[in-house]
Structure 1
């Protein structure tokens, strides 16, 4: 009887731990970003300080547990061609997958569109956190997406 009790206790503890880790990773640490508090900036191609981009319809999430958890969706008025002329195009953008419940952001679609040329990625801000850059992807129709990714400091 004690062996069965011990085994059941281990299984229950493992199950509860798994559920806790799942919940913490997908829901607990994320907070929505207040659209009034966010400023999306792009780095000019001449290397100057990042400049604010006029955006609307912003939806975003972030977490204090990691600088890589920031994701956002928005719209821009400026044309993609104007942005391409004035700002630094990101050489190797890698959209990071966000939680499934954050529906406006689909990293796989954005990544495929960046590879095909249907969207263009720009350097938002270099070293927004230690070893992390902010990347902005813009579509010709004005849709925009933002995420953070590791920069050269931690890539090997």
Structure 2
């Protein structure tokens, strides 16, 4: 009898742990981002090299406190792809990251297919929005827009343990060689 109780306790504990892990990965670490109405969607100017706000509407976004690459957003814009590509820095190889299924406006596979087909273009939103993380913005021909964070070269090196090297800026909190 004691063995059945112990086995039942182990099974129930494992089940509750699994449910908890699933909940926190899919829902728990995400929160909605409140739109400011002015600078939620920014693209890096070809001329100045600094991010500038663009006209947008219908902004929805989520972010997660557990990782700098959990940010996802959707919006619409009246700006044409021609206008955007002439004014802002483009990103050649952009691959959207998956969003939780409940954030329905962001479908990474569909966005990726549009980028591959050329019916959407990817732009640099802001480099190093956090150390090693760039904000990427994709806009489709019909004015739908999507935003996500992606690791840049320095971020990939920093997070996989590779020596970052001189081409990357110092990480926040790193001491200089003279210290």
- C-alpha deviation, 1:2, in angstroms: 2.2
State how far apart, in whole Å, the 2-side matches of 1:47 and 1:91 are: 20
**Corresponding position of 1:97:** 98
Based on CA coordinates, which of the two structures has the bigger radius of gyration?
2
Contact 2:131 2:155 in 1 (8 A): no
Q: Confirm whether residue 44 of structure 1 aligns to residue 42 of structure 2.
A: no
Greater CA drift, 34-43 or 108-117: 34-43
Secondary structure of 1:69's aligned partner: coil
Give the structure 2 partner of residue 83 of structure 1.
84
Matches within 5 A, 1:44-83: 44-46=45-47, 48-83=49-84
**Count, aligned residues:** 156
Give TM-score, length-normalised by structure 1.
0.93
Moved more, 44-53 or 6-15: 44-53
| 1:44-101 CA-partner distances (Å, limit 9, x unpaired) | 2245211111111111111222111111110112111010011111122110101101
**Structure 1 stretches of 4+ moved >3 Å:** none
Q: Any idea what the Cα deviations from partners look like across 1:4-28, whole Å, max 9, x if unmatched?
A: 2222111111100000011111111
SS at match of 1:68: coil
> Structure 2: 5+ residue runs without aligned partners?
158-179
State the Cα distance separating 1:35 from its structure 2 match: 1.9
The gaps in structure 1 that reach 5 residues or longer are none
Mean CA deviation greater in 53-62 or 38-47: 38-47
Counterpart residue number, 2:126: 125
Structure 1 residue matching 2:155: 3-state secondary structure? coil
1:79-127 CA distance string (max 9 Å, x none): 1101001111112211010110111110110011111111000010001
